[in-house]
């Protein structure tokens, strides 16, 4: 089936898109070129039709950098960032202009919020030990418990669609799968390094996730690191889009007996 890659946004600085649960719309952070005026949480239909919906706005030097939808479609988990090192996870409800602190410590950074498929557990990364590690807390009662998942560096947690594994990148950038044991409380099983991530892009500044988990939990989508463009740069792989390939194959095979 033919398809085309087209822009969804055209003005300002738009970043960190995520899908809504129904797969019909995209949520993203938007800036119109003036950070003093604030940043917006925007929702837009994935097909580009209709108008955009402004769901939240942050002013006072704090930018909306990440959004994580919850099972309650009237509220979102946001990561706000100030001009300094402070990065906090906040809860925001539609129609409410205030942000409620969720995991917010002005001394440390809390980034990469990720809710489990059943909405019970919030994974995130924090540098409270001096370097980033992955943690899990119950949601929405985040103060009831905290479990440290990674032990030698961890960031970018992503849940398996089954909820039975929590993926993250360890201190070397490798992708790790941590088994989640079914229980009334959060419990971890074995952790397995799936593959080295050195060939893939790593978010050193902790600004946005660099990978996603495909349905079925057996494949991953990464951005691969490539050589700089220039006269001395290595030849880069090309992305080739082929449309109507089935019709082309049928034309080529017309009148040809199969063996």
Find the angle CA(21)-CA(27)-CA(28) to the nearest 5 degrees.
150
What is the pLDDT, as a whole number, of residue 107?
87
Number of Cβ within a 10 Å radius of residue 40: 20
What's the pTM value of the predicted model, to 2 decimals?
Answer: 0.82
Q: What is the mean pLDDT of residues 112-127?
A: 96
User: Which among 199, 196, 202, 195 has a CA at the least distance from the CA of 227?
Assistant: 199
What is the pLDDT, as a whole number, of residue 143?
95
Looking at the predicted structure, is the pLDDT value of residue 201 above 90? no
Looking at the predicted structure, is the pLDDT value of residue 63 above 90? no
Instruction: Name the β-bridge partners of 93.
Output: 75
- Cα–Cα dist 123/121, whole Å: 6
* Structural domains for the chain: 13-222 (2.120.10.30)
pLDDT band at 259 (very low <50, low <70, confident <90, very high): very low
Q: What is the mean pLDDT of residues 167-180?
A: 95
Looking at the predicted structure, is the pLDDT value of residue 186 above 70? yes
pLDDT band at 60 (very low <50, low <70, confident <90, very high): low
Looking at residue 224, the DSSP 8-state letter turns out to be B
Looking at the predicted structure, is the pLDDT value of residue 15 above 70? yes
pLDDT band at 36 (very low <50, low <70, confident <90, very high): low
Least confident range from 91-95, 213-217, 225-229: namely: 225-229
- Cα–Cα dist 195/215, whole Å: 19
pLDDT band at 6 (very low <50, low <70, confident <90, very high): confident
Percent of the chain with pLDDT over 70: 83
- Cα–Cα dist 50/46, whole Å: 10
Kindly report, residue by residue over 125-169, the tens digit of the pLDDT.
999 999 999 999 999 999 999 999 999 999 999 999 999 999 999
Highest mean predicted confidence (pLDDT) among 24-38, 117-131, 236-250:
117-131
Looking at the predicted structure, is the pLDDT value of residue 1 above 50? no
């Amino acid at each position: 089936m033919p398809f085309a890659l087209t822009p969804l946004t055209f003005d300002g600085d738009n970043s960190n898109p995520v899908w809504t649960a129904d797969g019909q719309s995209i949520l993203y952070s938007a800036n119109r070129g003036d950070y003093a005026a604030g940043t917006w949480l925007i929702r837009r239909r994935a097909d580009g039709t209709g108008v955009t919906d402004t769901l939240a706005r942050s002013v006072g030097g704090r930018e909306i950098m990440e959004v994580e939808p919850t099972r309650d479609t009237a509220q979102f988990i946001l990561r706000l960032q100030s001009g300094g090192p402070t990065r906090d996870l906040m809860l925001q409800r539609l129609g409410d202009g205030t942000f409620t602190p969720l995991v917010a410590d002005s001394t440390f950074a809390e980034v990469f919020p990720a809710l489990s498929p059943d909405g019970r557990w919030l994974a995130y990364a924090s540098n409270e030990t001096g370097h980033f590690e992955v943690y899990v807390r119950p949601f929405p009662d985040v103060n009831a418990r905290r479990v440290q998942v990674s032990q030698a560096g961890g960031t970018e947690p992503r849940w398996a669609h089954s909820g039975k594994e929590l993926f993250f990148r360890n201190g070397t950038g490798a992708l790790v799968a941590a088994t989640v044991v079914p229980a009334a409380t959060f419990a971890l099983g074995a952790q397995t390094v799936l593959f080295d991530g050195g060939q893939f892009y790593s978010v050193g500044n902790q600004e946005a996730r660099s990978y996603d988990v495909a349905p079925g939990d057996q494949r991953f989508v990464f951005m691969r690191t490539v050589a700089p463009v220039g006269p001395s740069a290595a030849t880069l792989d090309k992305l080739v889009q082929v449309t109507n390939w089935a019709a082309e194959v049928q034309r080529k095979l017309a009148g040809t007996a199969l063996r």
